[in-house]
């Protein structure tokens, strides 16, 4: 994943399911909604797993959030991010767009936009139960 300094304007990045106060707008969240599904039938050594992750921008300025959402849909496909992910045996597939879930909060709007990535992750597990 790109280093924090690579994000626009040094935006805070937090877990979607965190407890406690959220940072001020705008900010970015991540959420791994899928623990990983095997892409093979029988391999358990160095298995490739398909993992789902959301990257989502939140803010009170609709245009800014839409621009951040477009950026999030490209950031893991950049050369730098691709190289960093590959060092950890991770490949990002082209993401989908998140559905519109903007909401009115008491006195103002909260806008959301982002990316739904599928990551292929090699788990590096080795079966050592049959060692000679």
pLDDT, tens digit (0-9, with 9 covering 90-100), for 54-73: 999 999 999 999 999 999 99
What is the value of pTM for the model shown? Answer: 0.78
Does residue 5 carry a pLDDT above 80?
Answer: no
Query: Residue 111 has what pLDDT?
Result: 92
> Which residues, in sequence order, are bridge partners of residue 31?
54
Mean pLDDT of the 81-98 span: 92
What is the bridge-based pairing of β-strands 96-97 and 108-122?
Answer: antiparallel
Distances (CA, A) of 120 to 4, 59, 105, 128, 131: 22, 30, 36, 24, 28
Query: Residue 95 has what pLDDT?
Result: 93
Strand, coil or helix: 57: strand
At 65, phi and psi to the nearest 5?
A: -65, -40
Mean pLDDT of the 115-124 span: 90
The burial class, CB within 10 Å (0-12 / 13-18 / 19+), for 73 is buried
Q: Is domain 4-122 in CATH 3.40.50, yes or no?
A: no
Query: Residue 4 has what pLDDT?
Result: 43
Q: Which stretch of 37-41, 66-70, 90-94, 110-114 has the lowest confidence by average pLDDT?
A: 37-41
Query: Residue 25 has what pLDDT?
Result: 92
């Amino acid at each position: 994943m790109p280093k924090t300094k690579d994000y626009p304007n040094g935006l805070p990045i937090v877990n979607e399911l965190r407890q406690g106060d959220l940072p001020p707008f705008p900010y970015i969240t991540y959420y791994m909604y899928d623990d990983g599904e095997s892409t093979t039938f029988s391999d358990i050594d160095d298995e490739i797993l398909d993992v789902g992750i959301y990257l989502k921008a939140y803010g009170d300025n609709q245009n800014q959030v839409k621009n951040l959402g477009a950026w999030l849909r490209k950031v893991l496909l950049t050369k730098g991010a691709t190289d960093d992910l590959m060092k950890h045996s991770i490949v990002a597939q082209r993401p989908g767009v998140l559905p519109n879930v903007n909401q009115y909060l008491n006195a103002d709007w909260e806008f959301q936009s982002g990316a739904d990535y599928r990551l292929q992750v090699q788990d590096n597990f080795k079966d050592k139960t049959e060692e000679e």
